[in-house]
Structure 1
Amino acid sequence: METVRVVCAHDCPDMCSLLAHVEDDKVIRVQGDPDQPYTAGFACAKVNRDAELVHSPERLTTPLRRTGPKGSGQFEPISWEAALDEIASRWTAIIAESGPEALLGYAYSAHQGQMNRHIVNGLFHALGASRLQAGTVCDTCCETAWDLTLGPVGSADPESVVDSDLVIAWGCDLMAVNVHFWAKVEALRKKGVKVVVIDPRRSRTAASADWHLPIRIGTDAALVLGIVHILVRDGLCDRAYLAANTLGFEPWERDVVPRFTPEYTAAVTGLAIADIEKLAAMYGAAKRSFIRIGEGMTRLARGGQALRAVASLPAVTGAYGRQGGGALLMTAASMDFKFGFVKKPSGPATARQVNHLRLGDDLLNLKDPPLRSILIAANNPAVTCPEANKVRAGLSREDLFVVVHDPFMTDTARYADIVLPATTYLETQDFYRAYGSYYMQYAPAAVAPQGQAWSNFRLAQALARRLGLTDPVFRMSEQEILPEFFRGATGAVAHVDPAKVIGGGPIKVAPSGGQEFRTPSGKLEIYSAALAAQGLSPLPDWQPDEEEVRDAARWPLRLLTAPSYFQPHTAYSGVQFLRKREGEPFCVLNPSDAARRNLADGQKVRLYNERAAVGLILRVGDEITEGVILVPGQRPGAEAVDGTINMLCSDRLTDMGEGACYQSTFLDVEAWDRPAARA
């Protein structure tokens, strides 16, 4: 049996180094690599089953051409040559008739290798096609808010938490999305360091922590301001650090913070006054407090203000200036690789932008020219995008030529004209850079592509040749491209010899020193002149959102979506064991809300609002408070009673970064066997 050192390519901050045990070109087992210091020799429960993902009987094995109506799942096998010829000829005709902006490449994050992730969009960049404004369904709100506060820079090293004297998981279920950080936190707890979880849900992380604060959805900024109010009142601010390293604390302290008395903060957040006082005292007493910030708390109307508030808090006590202190959102910005060689090989300086989260609306309504063809890879927008019914309506257009490249027949692939079988990460070689730690690694393929599967890398290069593109990236091998990522790099990356990366295992490229600020002022900007210029509050603040207030008056429940433990998104749908472990797609309702509607545990229920209705299995439990309905994971429609949860979510934009507002969704629930309520 051969052992191959590989890297997990699932969309996760940890980027585990793995050992794949291979026999007769079959992955027998996947386990954690003990020589990776951060991921520490273990993999999560999902990745432990990735041998079954590679060899799933549900894998697509050959290219397919549609034979029935869009969405029907009726296809016939064709050859790769026939598929590529048809794609190239259709695109060539579309470009001649409508220009390249009638095409859209739509590849995202299901493969985190920097070549396989970006080369598809690089192909469309070189063609001058419409450009995907990627990530708005996920992280553009929190990233934009972070950049406006600290600058485009990475956050605290998660390995520094060993020196922390208080850990707060703020809107982050570490056991679900950051399990290796949780392992380090657990070790710290054994030494007596307190761990606090601030989350609307009593997740497994919250249940295992020392203290859980079940905050109301969307009120995180108010809690921060309440804490700062008490820190100011009790003389617990690090005035010297604030004066030397921040911009705008004085107007924040004078104009915003005074409103957030403990009484007002309690009324907004739903937390007890005594708990707010206790939390502020704990935070003020800590010298090396560490906040792990979850992205989910920013996926709502005023998510950017929430992130700015939480990211400013470590400055108030000077935690950013001490080893083991600060905050962790993402690390990638401090690893200065030059991925533009793959992402932007050539093409015009500007082109029409298509916002990731508004795909459905743009498929239906863009003009001059309308979108006439789309290639979708490494994503499943018919499930993941807000207004998922709009996405499906757009993909159903008979005049839209849809190509989907995926290992499985997803909800999105069912709407394709051409479906192409894709490899999993264990069948590709690539270069990886973590976004939740400071490690990089090159990994070979563990096994050859299964069936007739092709990688994103091979597909993009083949299409580029047919379309006459001559950029070097479309004819170079993965190992030939790798040195380009280091050419002109700065910081820790600049000190790495790319020749030693291949076969070198995990390599740490963390910045030295404390938290850096890359704002225009060179300081943490509590006051943002850029936001003031946009007509937004330049200081972190909390105000009720008018549209949320209006929707809450109409609908009695607020949606909370969160990653599930075994099916966080559809990338794991091909593993039958994990599907069974997670169970049917479900929602969770507080016992009081269930009793009020005469609903029972295990019952089929309809979740509905003015946009759609979906059917799920009800679980009744007190892990969430009254007035909230929890839906863990994003699941294919065929697995549920009916539909998928993002059909209920609007394509409204966040206050910063043009991100998605999943948590600004309001609805009601009723028994499935009752006549559907009128929205």
Structure 2
Amino acid sequence: MRSRHLTHFGLLEAESDGTFLHAVTGWDGDPDPRRVIHNVASSQHHPARVRRPAVRQGWLERGPGGTGRGDEPFIEVSWDEALDLVSGELQRVYGTHGSSAVYGDSYGWASAGRFHHAQSQIHRFLNCLGGYVAGVGDYSYGTSGALLPHVIGASPAEVMADATTWDVICEHTDLFISFGGLSEKNSAIGPGGIARHSTRAEVERARKAGCHFIDITPIRDDGFAEADTEWIAPRPGSDAALMLALAHTLDAEGLVDAEFLENYTVGYDRFIAYVRGLGDGQPKSPEWATRITEISSDTIAGLARRMARSRTMINVSWSMQRQDHGEQPIWLGVTLAAMLGQIGLPGGGFQHGYGSSADVGLARRVLSPPALPQGTNNEASYIPVARIADMLLHPGTRVPYNGIEVSFPHIDLVYWIGGNPFHHHQDLTRFRRAFQRPSTVVVHEQFWTSTARHADIVLPATMTIERDDFGAGRNDPHFFPMPALTRPVGEARDDYAIFAALEERLGLNQAFTEGRTVQQWLEHLYSDWRDRLSRKGYPVPPFDEFWRSEYIEIPVPDPGQVLHASFRTDPLASPLATPSGRIEIFSETIDSFGYDDCPGHPVWLEPREWLGQTNRRYPLHLISNQPKTRLHSQLDVGTTSRESKIQGREPVRMNPSDADARGLRDGDAVLIRNDRGSCLAGLAVSDALRPGVVQLSTGAWYDPDPSDPSFCRHGNPNVLTADLPSSRLSQGTTAQHALVEVERWEGPLPPITVDQPPAFVARGDVEPPTR
């Protein structure tokens, strides 16, 4: 039977015998299917699947407590016993400490599908118990998520949903400048799924229409060959200085749209005084920026002039804000677009995310597809999501965040599903130490990831291909039925089934399930959504017809949308949701917070760790960007991901001059190290990297050496990155950048264990303690 199923990396078509997937390909309606989709079938029956409920030996025998977490073997148990243990812990913690002692998270993309979306499932369930401590913001664009509402009155998600479409860019844009690149690999992925990978064709169409693409990034090939891109490679972390020098040139040469600044912005006078050096005596000129960026002053000034005489789109990738002071390049991207006066014009202005995700540049749908309601979280405590290790290590500490102070609660129970924090968090040695602090960690997992290996109770969860659902990616108009393609592997159960069983044990009186089966929920959610669409004047077929169809299309009201068009047309009738109703180049609100690491207008702030430092111990700048062969850490054991490894390790790329200076050759096993940790990788020599830069993608499953958890044998870069916030405004991650050294690995290579399950032991004679 040939069937279709939506994934974050595209719609797959597969022949299934009910147990295995065969002949997996991308959808024949996709003009540019990506190889990453082959990870799905090759992972499903991998030895690393979690097949039965399992409990850490020490927790089962000694009771709650983190000692031994990540080191001890597991004992497989029955579902009944596992559910009894989890329900008992929930009763203990909620009864003794309340909801402020429960950190309930599902950070990460989880699986595609709207009903079985892990975050909706766990949040709805914990809300039925009284709530949970939440993590707010995200790792992808959490820094800009704190900044942009102050500057343009919208979140990054709103800015991307309203992005000027590629159709408009192809017709109107002359110059497309991407700070952080226009990534081909990231455009393979869309949150919730992507039906048609259209970015390559749109880029090619724009180039043929005369659009000139410029990527400002240390990595030359992080883009589309079809763009015929001009490459500018500043020192990593120096983009804000480059952007300030562009602003200086626009101002000094009279290339600024003064009328736009007067009518649509506030605070420009404060900003431009800084650019001119009136306060600190240092004009932010191209000559000044050259010393910081190592880009010639002629190149900087010439670029500013080209921007002014062209219809220019300024694109700032998500990666630009995952660094020290990551707010600054985002704010400066908006500011440069305002100085050019092109915000709200077709093909001009600002965007945060073209190339960062497949959906950016698709027109907004009339209504998002239905999803499981999460209910109300009655717990007031929360943390900025990237500060989880700080919370676990230092309960009671108060930290500044976006103009307030957040107090870290004391967490006794972590309940995590649909994510892998040992992938996305930084300084994994520190994080591993933090993960020892709670009394109990419960995880639903499909695979024995490092998060599962550091849990106490691991419940086997189904993959998306093993359950019925429906799905559509963010801004994608294609809405697909997603019937299960196979039966579950082992004893895996849907998250919904697990929570339904816990609901019964906890006496929640169907508060979670409302007495519905999965199929009844799908029909109920769809029918309610259909009614809302009908009231808007957009009819769609009834559920039975939808479930039998290939897909339906969600209506798109304005296929030629232009970001901020209505604001430009009439800023009084369509003001921004900022205090002034305008673009805030200087923000009185941010200025009132008194943060020296994020003042009231964009500035140059030197990173704590970068190549501009003198007397640095580590001479190479590591970029830990997103991988080409998987989504984050998802399905790292899949075929496409495994084929990219070198000597079984994640590949690290290095410029030939840096490799030669160290006597390294392509294919060598190398050790990457700094004061925080070290990891093994396989060397790939490439002139696509700026000299002095090495690139090791995220997502290799953390495989700590038993005697030294700061040493990852597999190549996870987050043993090297610092767990420090971008600023007090956002408390966002700085995961993208770190200084390192690279050297040849001498001697035999240590074994890799992430492709096998952990150690199991028999139950023995010790009974679990009474709880």
Same fold (TM over 0.5): yes
Kindly state the Cα deviation for residue 471 of structure 1 after the two structures are TM-superposed: 7.3
1:646 aligns with 2:669: no
Kindly state the Cα deviation for residue 213 of structure 1 after the two structures are TM-superposed: 0.8
Contact 1:427-1:448 within 8 A present in 2 as well: yes
Contact 2:133-2:381 within 8 A present in 1 as well: yes
Aligned counterparts of 2:122 and 2:215: Cα–Cα separation in 1: 39
Q: Percent identity?
A: 25
Q: Give the superposed CA RMSD.
A: 3.5
Aligned counterparts of 1:9 and 1:651: Cα–Cα separation in 2: 28
Kindly state the Cα deviation for residue 92 of structure 1 after the two structures are TM-superposed: 0.5
Give secondary structure in 2 for the equivalent of 1:412: helix
Kindly state the Cα deviation for residue 81 of structure 1 after the two structures are TM-superposed: 2.5
Q: Which amino acid aligns with 1:530?
A: T
Q: Which amino acid aligns with 1:270?
A: E
Q: Which amino acid aligns with 1:480?
A: H
Map of 1:61-76 to 2, 5 A cutoff? 61-67=51-57, 70-72=69-71, 74-76=73-75
Map of 1:407-556 to 2, 5 A cutoff? 407-430=446-469, 432=471, 434-435=473-474, 437=475, 439=477, 441-451=479-489, 452-469=491-508, 474-475=513-514, 476=516, 477-482=521-526, 502=546, 504-509=551-556, 514-516=562-564, 517-535=576-594, 536-545=598-607, 553-556=616-619
Kindly state the Cα deviation for residue 107 of structure 1 after the two structures are TM-superposed: 0.5
Map of 1:251-262 to 2, 5 A cutoff? 251-256=270-275, 259-262=283-286
Gaps spanning 5+ residues in structure 1: where? 11-15, 675-679
Map of 1:604-623 to 2, 5 A cutoff? 604-623=669-688
Kindly state the Cα deviation for residue 480 of structure 1 after the two structures are TM-superposed: 2.1
Kindly state the Cα deviation for residue 341 of structure 1 after the two structures are TM-superposed: 8.4
Compared with structure 1, are the counterparts of its residues 497 and 533 closer, same or farther at alpha carbon in structure 2 (3 Å cutoff)? Answer: farther
Q: Which residue of 1 aligns with 2:159?
A: 154
Q: Which amino acid aligns with 2:626?
A: P
Contact 1:142-1:304 within 8 A present in 2 as well: yes
Q: Which amino acid aligns with 2:554?
A: I
Compared with structure 1, are the counterparts of its residues 234 and 449 closer, same or farther at alpha carbon in structure 2 (3 Å cutoff)? Answer: farther
Q: Which residue of 1 aligns with 2:111?
A: 111
Compared with structure 1, are the counterparts of its residues 322 and 373 closer, same or farther at alpha carbon in structure 2 (3 Å cutoff)? Answer: same
Deviates more, 1:556-565 or 1:578-587: 578-587
Contact 2:200-2:224 within 8 A present in 1 as well: no
Give secondary structure in 1 for the equivalent of 2:209: coil
Query: Alpha-carbon deviations, 1:405-442, whole Å to 9, x = none?
Result: 1211111111222212222233344454644x454635
Aligned counterparts of 2:373 and 2:607: Cα–Cα separation in 1: 37
Contact 2:721-2:738 within 8 A present in 1 as well: yes
Aligned counterparts of 1:91 and 1:337: Cα–Cα separation in 2: 36
Aligned counterparts of 1:471 and 1:246: Cα–Cα separation in 2: 52
Q: Which residue of 2 aligns with 1:673?
A: 746
Q: Which residue of 2 aligns with 1:366?
A: 395
Aligned equivalent of 2:334, options 311, 321, 324: 311
Kindly state the Cα deviation for residue 219 of structure 1 after the two structures are TM-superposed: 1.8
Compared with structure 1, are the counterparts of its residues 499 and 447 closer, same or farther at alpha carbon in structure 2 (3 Å cutoff)? Answer: same
Q: Which amino acid aligns with 2:320?
A: M
Compared with structure 1, are the counterparts of its residues 30 and 643 closer, same or farther at alpha carbon in structure 2 (3 Å cutoff)? Answer: closer
Aligned counterparts of 1:483 and 1:186: Cα–Cα separation in 2: 40
Contact 1:228-1:257 within 8 A present in 2 as well: no
Contact 1:170-1:293 within 8 A present in 2 as well: yes
Contact 1:128-1:351 within 8 A present in 2 as well: no
Map of 1:124-523 to 2, 5 A cutoff? 124-152=126-154, 153-155=158-160, 156-160=163-167, 161-163=169-171, 164-179=173-188, 180=197, 181-205=199-223, 209-256=228-275, 259-287=283-311, 289-329=312-352, 342=372, 344-348=374-378, 350-366=379-395, 370-396=410-436, 400-430=439-469, 432=471, 434-435=473-474, 437=475, 439=477, 441-451=479-489, 452-469=491-508, 474-475=513-514, 476=516, 477-482=521-526, 502=546, 504-509=551-556, 514-516=562-564, 517-523=576-582
Kindly state the Cα deviation for residue 356 of structure 1 after the two structures are TM-superposed: 3.0
Compared with structure 1, are the counterparts of its residues 633 and 644 closer, same or farther at alpha carbon in structure 2 (3 Å cutoff)? Answer: closer
Deviates more, 1:384-393 or 1:498-507: 498-507
Aligned counterparts of 1:329 and 1:468: Cα–Cα separation in 2: 46
Compared with structure 1, are the counterparts of its residues 101 and 509 closer, same or farther at alpha carbon in structure 2 (3 Å cutoff)? Answer: farther
Kindly state the Cα deviation for residue 530 of structure 1 after the two structures are TM-superposed: 2.0
Output the TM-score relative to the length of structure 2: 0.77
Kindly state the Cα deviation for residue 293 of structure 1 after the two structures are TM-superposed: 2.6
Compared with structure 1, are the counterparts of its residues 95 and 335 closer, same or farther at alpha carbon in structure 2 (3 Å cutoff)? Answer: farther
Query: Alpha-carbon deviations, 1:99-133, whole Å to 9, x = none?
Result: 22222212022224444132213323443454231
Query: Alpha-carbon deviations, 1:383-417, whole Å to 9, x = none?
Result: 321121122223345x6222221211111111222
Whose helix proportion is higher, 1 or 2? 1
Query: Alpha-carbon deviations, 1:44-98, whole Å to 9, x = none?
Result: 2202443333454543232222336532473343332322221011110122222
Give secondary structure in 2 for the equivalent of 1:637: coil
Q: Which residue of 1 aligns with 2:7?
A: 8
Deviates more, 1:415-424 or 1:498-507: 498-507
Compared with structure 1, are the counterparts of its residues 339 and 508 closer, same or farther at alpha carbon in structure 2 (3 Å cutoff)? Answer: closer
Contact 2:667-2:683 within 8 A present in 1 as well: yes
Query: Alpha-carbon deviations, 1:557-576, whole Å to 9, x = none?
Result: 32211112114522021313
Q: Which residue of 1 aligns with 2:689?
A: 624
Q: Which residue of 1 aligns with 2:78?
A: 79
Kindly state the Cα deviation for residue 303 of structure 1 after the two structures are TM-superposed: 0.3
Contact 1:172-1:296 within 8 A present in 2 as well: no
Map of 1:580-595 to 2, 5 A cutoff? 580-583=643-646, 584-595=649-660
Compared with structure 1, are the counterparts of its residues 210 and 666 closer, same or farther at alpha carbon in structure 2 (3 Å cutoff)? Answer: closer
Query: Alpha-carbon deviations, 1:277-334, whole Å to 9, x = none?
Result: 33223222222x3344311111111101111111333233233222233333256997
Compared with structure 1, are the counterparts of its residues 439 and 222 closer, same or farther at alpha carbon in structure 2 (3 Å cutoff)? Answer: farther
Q: Give the number of equivalent residue pairs.
A: 659
Query: Alpha-carbon deviations, 1:547-592, whole Å to 9, x = none?
Result: 7677973433322111121145220213134312344213233334
Kindly state the Cα deviation for residue 473 of structure 1 after the two structures are TM-superposed: 5.3
Deviates more, 1:376-385 or 1:615-624: 615-624
Contact 1:30-1:49 within 8 A present in 2 as well: no
Gaps spanning 5+ residues in structure 2: where? 59-67, 189-196, 278-282, 354-359, 397-407, 565-575, 705-711, 748-771
Kindly state the Cα deviation for residue 493 of structure 1 after the two structures are TM-superposed: 11
Aligned counterparts of 2:531 and 2:246: Cα–Cα separation in 1: 45
Q: Which amino acid aligns with 1:380?
A: N
Contact 1:64-1:76 within 8 A present in 2 as well: yes
Q: Which residue of 1 aligns with 2:96?
A: 97
Give secondary structure in 2 for the equivalent of 1:320: coil
Aligned counterparts of 1:586 and 1:563: Cα–Cα separation in 2: 12
Aligned counterparts of 2:671 and 2:510: Cα–Cα separation in 1: 51
Q: Which residue of 1 aligns with 2:761?
A: none
Give secondary structure in 1 for the equivalent of 2:32: coil
Compared with structure 1, are the counterparts of its residues 508 and 627 closer, same or farther at alpha carbon in structure 2 (3 Å cutoff)? Answer: farther
Which protein shows a greater Rg? Answer: 2
Aligned counterparts of 1:667 and 1:302: Cα–Cα separation in 2: 20
